[in-house]
Amino acid sequence: MVALRSQLRRAILVWFYCNPNSSVYVRQLAGILQVHSTNLSRELARLARRGFLRPYLQRNQLHYKIYRRHKETPVILNTLATLIATSPDWQRLLPGPTPECSKNRSKNPTPGMAAHSSPAVEA
């Protein structure tokens, strides 16, 4: 289970929700989210320890991407979809006034997400 109390963790999860096939390195994501890279690095490491993200080295930079094989990943993504669809607080975390990721997700949900009906992510 991934706790969603941290505003930074919420922003990271929404970014990966909107960019499910992307990989990103710490300073790149820090610039996108406009947060300090040290705090972001700690939070990314926590999510990697939980199994949601997979770290790997590329050109001496630590990159992160969603680890789709982790058993909780579909549950987390499904819960994020529900939270984003129903909560204005979560909708504010989306990039831009008309986020493209919501449209893409509703048309092409992640395979295997329908099997998990109950949210397993702590709010």
Per-residue confidence in pLDDT tens, the chain, 123 aa: 577 778 899 899 889 988 888 899 999 999 999 999 999 999 999 999 999 999 999 888 899 999 988 888 888 888 888 888 888 888 777 776 434 465 544 544 443 333 333 333 443
What is the domain partition of the chain in residue ranges? Answer: 7-107
Regarding the domain delimited by 7-107, which CATH topology (the fold level of the hierarchy) does it fall under? Answer: Arc Repressor Mutant, subunit A (1.10.10)
CB burial class (10 A; 0-12, 13-18, 19+) of residue 62? middle
Cβ pair 102, 84 in contact under 8 A? yes
Predicted local distance difference test score (pLDDT) of residue 80: 85
Predicted local distance difference test score (pLDDT) of residue 35: 93
pTM for the structure as a whole:
0.74
Residue type, 72: E
Predicted local distance difference test score (pLDDT) of residue 117: 32
Among 28, 76, 70, residue whose Cα is nearest residue 51: 70
